[in-house]
Structure 1
Amino acid sequence: MRLADRITEVAVDDAVRASVSYDQLRTGDDGLYWLETRPDAGGGTTVTGWRPGEGTRDVSPSGFDIASGVHAYGGGSFAVTDGTLWCAGGDGLYRSRRHGEGLDLVSHGSFGDLTIGDGELLAVRESEQGDELVAVSLTGAPQVRTLASSRGFLAAPRPGPGWLAWTAWSERDMPWDACEVWVASYSPRGSVEGAVRLAGGPDESAVEPRWGPDGALYFVSDRSGWWNLYRWDGLEVEAVAPIAGECAAEPWELGYASYGFLDDGRIVVAVQEGPRHRLVVIDSDGAVRPVDLPYTSIKPYLAVRGTTVALIGSSPTAAPQVALIDLADADPQVEVLARPEHAGLDGARVSTPTQLRVRVASDREVLALVYPPTGSAADWRAPVIVRAHPGPTASCLLRLDWQAQFFTSRGFAVVDVDYLGSTGYGRAFRESLYGRWGLDDVDDCAAVAVHLLSTGRAAPGQVFIRGASAGGYTALHAVAQDGPFAAATAVSAIVDPDRWAQTVPRFQRAHAMRLRGGAGRVRAAAVQRPVLLIHGTADEVAVVEDVRELAEELTLLGSAPEVLLVPDVGHYVATSRRAGAALEAELAHYRSVMAGAANGQQGLHSRQR
C-alpha cells in the first residue's frame, strides 16, 4: 500500500471494508485455499482458491456462509480434495456437487477440524454430550462413522501410516492449560485400536500433532514453559529445537498449523515473542535460522508445498495478506496472492506503533504498543484510547489495524496493552490471571495510562479504556474504581463471571471457572465514569441479557449509559455488517465526554471570574 504525505481521516466505511480477514489457509489439490470474511458483504465467510497461473477465485457458493460452530469458536471448517469442497455450515457438514453449483447436506451436527485422510474425511463432531472423532467416506453415499468419543473435548485427528493421532482435554480444562496427544493403530475404514497417551497432562498443554515425512509424530508442548516442537519416533519423545518463544497459538479454534515440513527435510515454524511473530526454519541438525520477511504478525496457518510456505502475514504498514514464500534460496522471495484493496485508503498515511514497557507491581513489566496520532510530531500530546484485548489469553499484534487507524487519523492515540494473562510470554504468565481477573489486568492497563499521563503524552481527562469480550469486562472494572480513565467502551462484554460460567458454551466453561474469583460481577453502583455498551443480540458467548440488566441498573442510579444493541449479530461485532455503526458510536462517545469536560471547565472559569 502506498503511503503519501497527506493525512486524511479514515472513513468509517473504508475502515470496515479494509478489515477483510483471511483465515484457515491450507493446501488442497494443486493449489491453496483459505477463508475470507468480508465485512462489507455482511460479514459472510467464503472459501477462496488459488492455483499457479490461474489467480484467485471463490470456491464456495455465493451466499453460503462457511461457519463451524464446533467448540463455539469453530476452526478447520473446510477441506478440498479431488475438486470437491467439504465444509461446515450453520447446521451440519456439506459436500459440493460433482456437477453444477451448490452444496449437499451430508450430516446434521456441529463439525470442525476437517482433515483429508486416505479415501475418507476425518473430523470432530460436537454435541452437548461431548465430542466424537468421525470418518466420512469421500466417494459414494457418505457414511459417517464414529472412531472415538469423549465427554470432554477432542481435536486434531491426523492420520499417519497405520496410525491416527489426536488431542483430548477434559471438561475441567482449557486446551492451553491441560491437553493430551493420543495415538492409536488405525487403517482407513477400520477402527481405532490400542490408544495410548503420548504427551500432555494436568500441567502440560500438548497440541498440533502432525506426522512428519520421516514417519515420526511431531507435536507442540509447553512442558518447558514455552510451546516448543517435539518429536516421537515410536520409542521416545525428544525436543526438536528449544526456543524461548511460543511455537503455537493459544488454541481457541481447531485446525491450527503453526509449523510444516519442507521437502528438503527442514521444518518451518511461526514463533511468537510478545506482540511480534517471526518465521524460522529448523535444519535437520536442530539449528534454528530466522527467515527475513516483511511481516511482524503471522497467523497460525502455515501451508507448505515443496520448499515454499504460504502464510497470512501483516505488519504495522501492511494489512493481513496471503503470501507465498520460496525458501529454496537464502534470500526468500515473497509473492502476495491476496490482500485487501480499497481505493478510499489508497495513499492514506498510517500511524506506526512503538513498544512501551511500564514497571508495575511485584517488579513486573507490562508491554504496550503505542500508536500516536497520525502524522504527529515526536513530542505529541493527545487523547488516548487504551485497548484491553479479548481472551484474555489473546495478545497485542504488530499488524495494520484500520479500526485503530480510524481513531489515530482523528487525533487520538491508541494503546494496546499485553496485560497479565496474555499469550506470548510463556505458560506462567498466561496462567497468572486465574483468580485475579478484573484486578491485575485492570492494574496493568491503568499503569500504562498513568505512565502516559505522567510523561505528558496523554491529555488529562481524555484517557479512555476500551475492550471486547473479556477485555470488555476489564474496561468496565477499570471505570468501577477511581483511576485514570474518563470513560469506557465495552463491546460484547462479560459482566458477571459467575453467571457467565453458567451461560457460556461448554467449551469455555472451564475458562470461566478458572478466571473468576477476582473482581467479581461489575456492580452498577461502583461505576464512576460514562460507559458505552455495544452488544450483539445474538451473542451466544456473552449473552445480551447481562448487559441489558447492567444498563437498567445504571439508569436507575442516574448514570444512564449509552447503549448500542446490534440486531442479529453474534459475539464478533467488529467483523459484522454493523461494524461501522459501532465505530461511529465509539467515536461519538469519546467526543461527548471530551466536550462535556471542556464545557465544565469553561463553566468553572466563568464562576472564578
Structure 2
Amino acid sequence: MTGGEYGVSGGATDTDGRAGGGPVSGGGPVKTEAPYGTWPSPVGAALAAARDGRPEYLGTVGEELWWTAPRPAEAGRRALVRRRADGTEESVLPAPWNVRSRVIEYGGRPWAAADRPRGGPLVVFSHFPDQRLYAYEPDSGAGAPPRPLTPVSTVGGGLRWVDPVLRPERGEVWCVLEEFTGPAPTDVRRVIAAVPLDGSAAEDRRAVRELSDGRHRFVTGPRLSPDGRRAAWLAWDHPRMPWDGTEVLLAEVTPDGTFGGARTVAGGPGESIAQIDWDASGRLLLAGDRTGWWNLYRAAPRPDGTLGTPEPLCPREEEFAGPLWKIGLNWFQPLDNGLIAVVHGKGGTALGILDPETGTLVDAVGPWTEWASTLTAHGTRVTGVAAGPHRSYEIVELDTCTGRSRVVAAAHTDAVDPAYLSEPSVRTFTGPDGREIHAQLHPPHHPGCTGPAGTPPPYVIWAHGGPTGHAPLVLDLEITYFTSRGIGVAEVNYGGSTGYGRAYRERLRERWGVVDVEDCAAVATALADEGAADPARLAIRGGSAGGWTTAASLVFTDVYACGTILFPILDLRGWATGETHDFESQYLHGLVGPLDRVPDRYEARSPVAHVDRLTSPFLLLQGLDDVICPPAQAERFLARTAGRGVPHAYLAFEGEGHGFRDAGTLARALEAELALYARTFGFSRTDVPDLELRT
C-alpha cells in the first residue's frame, strides 16, 4: 500500500504513546496454541535482509528529486537515484559505483548536483572503494563514465571528501577534505577545500585549494549566504563530540574565492549546534541546545563580521535537531517564502512548517511517526524521508500551499500480510533512583497462533548503538522476524539516548556501562514482574555501543539467559589507545572519564576483563573490515572466554565493516541469532541452520 494524500494539523504533535495506525487482527478463526518461538512465519531472514536500509541525502536538481538508496542484494552498495519530473525513477550510476563517503568513517552527504541549461545535470560524488571525488554528466549522450576529480593518496587512509557544494560559476566544488598524514587512524587533518571541476587535481594534490585554516579537528561543509558574500560552517575539537559542543564559524568570501577573517560567532564547549543554514533574507539559522533542547534560532550577521544575538523562533521542550553522526545531516530547511520546514518532537518526530515571525508550527498529517534527518525543498514543496510502526521508510512530499502530503518515491509496500505485524506501544519505565526510562514494546503476534495459556513469552531487549542515539518507532522486519515467531522485542532508549533533551542524554556522562546496563535490566525485570515476559527466557542484543551494553549486561548482571553481540566495543583501554578511528578516539573522555584520571574505571567496566563472570551463552558477530570496532576486540574477548565452559559461537564476515550491508550477511546473522534463542529457550525450528556452540 502506498497511502494517499494527507492534510495538516495545527500545533505540536504529542508523540508520547503514539503508536500509529495499522491493521489489527480481530475476530476470525480460533488461534492454534503453540509454544512461543515455534510459530510459522512468512518473514524469512532473506526477506528482512532485502528490506534493510533506507533512502538518504535527498536533494533537488532542477525539477527532479535525487537521493541515495540501499542495495543489499548488490553487496550493500549505495545507489544514486533520480526521480524525473514525470515521476519515472532510474539509477544515475550502474553497479559497482557506490555513492558513499568514509569521512569520520560514518560518512555524510556524498553527492551534489547542479542543473544546467544544456547538457543536463552535472553531479559530483564520492565513490566508496577509493574515496575519490568523481564528476558525471548522465544526460550528456556521450556515454562517458565518471571522471575523477581528486587524486589517490597512499598515506594512511588516503584522501576523503564529504558534504560537497557545487560552485559551477567558479569551476569548483567546495567540500570537507579529510587527509591522512600518517599510518595511525588519528594521523589526520580536516579542512574545507575547493576542488577544480576540470579534473586538474585528479593527479595533483597541489591543485586542491584549501579554504579553511585547519585549526579545528572537525568541520562541516560551508553554507553560503544568498548573496555569496559569506560562508558559515560548524567546527569542534577533541575531546568534545558534536553533541557536546560545537562552534559556528563565519567568514567573508573574497572575490578570489578565499575565506577571510573567519571567526567563531556562536556555540562553544557547552552548546551543541547541530545545523546551520541561511534564510532567504541572509540571516543565519541555527539549531542549538543552549536551553537543554535543540531549538531553532535566527541571527543577522553584523558588518564587523560578528553575529547578532540569536533569537529563539519556537522555544519548546522538544528537539529540532539531533546528534551529528554524519556530516551534512539536516533537520530544518528554509523556504523561499520565509517559512521553515522542521523535523521536531520528543521521542518520535514530525515534519512541521514553522512561521518564524509568529512562532506558529503546523504539522503534516499522516501515518508517519519518525522523520529522518534529511530534507529538501523546491518552491513551496518540502520532501523528507519518513516511516511509521507499520510503514517502512518512504519519501514523502508536503505541499505547503495546500497542506497535503503524499508519498512520491520508495513507497512502502506490504512485504507480508499486515496481520503478522505486532502492534507496538511506547512505555515509560522506572529505573534506579526513580529515573524515567523510555522504551518501545513489540509483543509476540501471529494471526493464527497463540502461546500456551498462562505461559509468558520470551523477550529480547534491544540496545541501540551510539550510545548517543535513538531507537525509532518504525516498521523493522528484523523485529517482525522474531515477533511473528512468538518472541517479544523491547527497544530501550536508555539514559544517554537522544530525543529527550540534553539532561537525558548526559545521564550517561562518565557512567557508560552502568546507566545503560541498569536501564535495560530495569525494563527486562519490569516486563517479567508484570507477567509480560518469562524471566527465565530473557535475552539482550545490540550492535556497536549496543554490543558493549549487551556484553556488559551478560557479564555484570544475571538477568539474561543469553545475548547476541554485534560488532562490539569490549575493551575500553584498547579502544582508547589506538583501536578505533579518530572521530570517536576520545569519546570515552565523556562516557567513562579521561584514561589518565580514572584508569581503574576502564578495567572495572570492560567485559573483556571480567569474562570469569560470564555464564550465559552468547553469539558474537563481527565484520572483518571494521575499523571502528575492530576484530581485535572480539578476538581478545573470545580468547579469554575459551575453555571456561560458556557456550558461544563466533561468525566473522569478510568484506563487512561497521554494520552489515550485504543481504547474505544480514540473513545469516539473523538466522544465527534465532538459532541461539532456539537453543537457549528450548524450542526447535527447521527453517534455520543449527548453530554450533563452543565452550
- Tell me the distance in 1 between the aligned counterparts of 2:102 and 2:498: 24
Aligned to 1:547: 634
**Structure 2 counterpart of 1:477, which letter?**
A
Query: Once the 2 structures are TM-superposed, how far is the Cα of residue 141 of structure 1 from its aligned partner?
Result: 4.5
On the 8 A contact 2:24/2:423 being kept in 1, the answer is no
Aligned to 2:85: 52
Is it true that 1:279 corresponds to 2:351 in the alignment? yes
Is it true that 1:222 corresponds to 2:289 in the alignment? yes
Aligned to 1:607: none
Aligned to 2:404: 332
Query: Once the 2 structures are TM-superposed, how far is the Cα of residue 266 of structure 1 from its aligned partner?
Result: 1.1
On the 8 A contact 1:551/1:560 being kept in 2, the answer is no
Aligned to 1:601: none
**Structure 2 counterpart of 1:461, which letter?**
A
**Structure 2 counterpart of 1:126, which letter?**
E
Aligned to 1:419: 494
Aligned mate of 2:385, from 289, 312, 318: 312
On the 8 A contact 2:455/2:534 being kept in 1, the answer is no
Aligned to 1:572: 659
Is it true that 1:124 corresponds to 2:162 in the alignment? no
- Tell me the distance in 2 between the aligned counterparts of 1:139 and 1:574: 34
Query: Once the 2 structures are TM-superposed, how far is the Cα of residue 380 of structure 1 from its aligned partner?
Result: 8.4
Is it true that 1:170 corresponds to 2:237 in the alignment? yes
Aligned mate of 1:61, from 94, 116, 130: 94
Partner of 1:442: helix, strand, or coil? helix
Aligned to 1:78: 111
On the 8 A contact 1:43/1:577 being kept in 2, the answer is no
1:445-464 aligned within 5 A: 445-464=520-539
Aligned to 2:467: 392
On the 8 A contact 2:507/2:515 being kept in 1, the answer is no
Aligned mate of 2:268, from 192, 201, 223: 201
Once the two structures are overlaid, the 10-residue window that deviates more, 462-471 or 280-289, is 280-289
Aligned to 2:560: 485
Once the two structures are overlaid, the 10-residue window that deviates more, 241-250 or 307-316, is 241-250
Is it true that 1:498 corresponds to 2:573 in the alignment? yes
Query: Once the 2 structures are TM-superposed, how far is the Cα of residue 138 of structure 1 from its aligned partner?
Result: 3.9
Distance change >3 Å, CA 380–CA 296, structure 1 → 2? farther
1:356-367 aligned within 5 A: 356-367=427-438
Is it true that 1:374 corresponds to 2:445 in the alignment? yes
Aligned to 2:210: 146
Is it true that 1:265 corresponds to 2:338 in the alignment? yes
Q: TM-score, normalised on structure 2?
A: 0.82
Aligned to 1:592: 679
Partner of 2:321: helix, strand, or coil? coil
**Structure 1 counterpart of 2:380, which letter?**
T
Aligned to 1:604: none
On the 8 A contact 1:9/1:410 being kept in 2, the answer is no
On the 8 A contact 1:370/1:414 being kept in 2, the answer is yes
Partner of 1:553: helix, strand, or coil? helix
CA shift digits 1:47-67 (9 cap, x unpaired): 001122142110123211112
Partner of 2:492: helix, strand, or coil? strand
On the 8 A contact 1:534/1:564 being kept in 2, the answer is yes
**Structure 2 counterpart of 1:534, which letter?**
L
Aligned mate of 2:311, from 229, 238, 245: 238
Aligned mate of 1:87, from 125, 141, 146: 125
Distance change >3 Å, CA 188–CA 587, structure 1 → 2? farther
**Structure 2 counterpart of 1:147, which letter?**
L
Query: Once the 2 structures are TM-superposed, how far is the Cα of residue 129 of structure 1 from its aligned partner?
Result: 3.1
Partner of 2:678: helix, strand, or coil? helix
Is it true that 1:111 corresponds to 2:161 in the alignment? yes
CA shift digits 1:209-243 (9 cap, x unpaired): 11110111111111111111111112412112112
Query: Once the 2 structures are TM-superposed, how far is the Cα of residue 429 of structure 1 from its aligned partner?
Result: 1.5
Aligned to 2:481: 406
On the 8 A contact 2:332/2:340 being kept in 1, the answer is yes
Distance change >3 Å, CA 299–CA 36, structure 1 → 2? same
CA shift digits 1:370-421 (9 cap, x unpaired): 0011237799831101000000011120111111111111101110001010
Distance change >3 Å, CA 137–CA 559, structure 1 → 2? same
- Tell me the distance in 1 between the aligned counterparts of 2:663 and 2:591: 28
CA shift digits 1:93-119 (9 cap, x unpaired): 111155314211111310001122463
Partner of 2:555: helix, strand, or coil? coil
On the 8 A contact 1:18/1:341 being kept in 2, the answer is no
- Tell me the distance in 1 between the aligned counterparts of 2:94 and 2:72: 17
Query: Once the 2 structures are TM-superposed, how far is the Cα of residue 245 of structure 1 from its aligned partner?
Result: 1.1
Aligned to 1:158: 223
CA shift digits 1:229-264 (9 cap, x unpaired): 111112412112112111112100011111112333
Aligned mate of 2:55, from 8, 22, 29: 22
Partner of 2:645: helix, strand, or coil? coil
- Tell me the distance in 2 between the aligned counterparts of 1:317 and 1:341: 10
Is it true that 1:512 corresponds to 2:581 in the alignment? no
Query: Once the 2 structures are TM-superposed, how far is the Cα of residue 556 of structure 1 from its aligned partner?
Result: 2.5
- Tell me the distance in 1 between the aligned counterparts of 2:362 and 2:255: 38
CA shift digits 1:465-510 (9 cap, x unpaired): 0010001110111111343211111001110122112211101112
Once the two structures are overlaid, the 10-residue window that deviates more, 90-99 or 48-57, is 90-99
Q: TM-score, normalised on structure 1?
A: 0.93
Is it true that 1:443 corresponds to 2:518 in the alignment? yes
CA shift digits 1:58-90 (9 cap, x unpaired): 012321111201011000101111311211123
Distance change >3 Å, CA 139–CA 567, structure 1 → 2? closer
Query: Once the 2 structures are TM-superposed, how far is the Cα of residue 551 of structure 1 from its aligned partner?
Result: 1.1
Query: Once the 2 structures are TM-superposed, how far is the Cα of residue 187 of structure 1 from its aligned partner?
Result: 4.1
Aligned to 1:521: 606
Partner of 2:504: helix, strand, or coil? helix
Distance change >3 Å, CA 336–CA 58, structure 1 → 2? same
On the 8 A contact 2:251/2:262 being kept in 1, the answer is yes
Partner of 1:443: helix, strand, or coil? helix
Gaps of 5+ in 1: 598-609
- Tell me the distance in 2 between the aligned counterparts of 1:530 and 1:536: 20
Query: Once the 2 structures are TM-superposed, how far is the Cα of residue 340 of structure 1 from its aligned partner?
Result: 5.4
- Tell me the distance in 1 between the aligned counterparts of 2:461 and 2:557: 16
Distance change >3 Å, CA 180–CA 577, structure 1 → 2? farther
On the 8 A contact 1:76/1:254 being kept in 2, the answer is yes
- Tell me the distance in 2 between the aligned counterparts of 1:188 and 1:381: 71
Partner of 1:460: helix, strand, or coil? coil
- Tell me the distance in 2 between the aligned counterparts of 1:575 and 1:419: 29
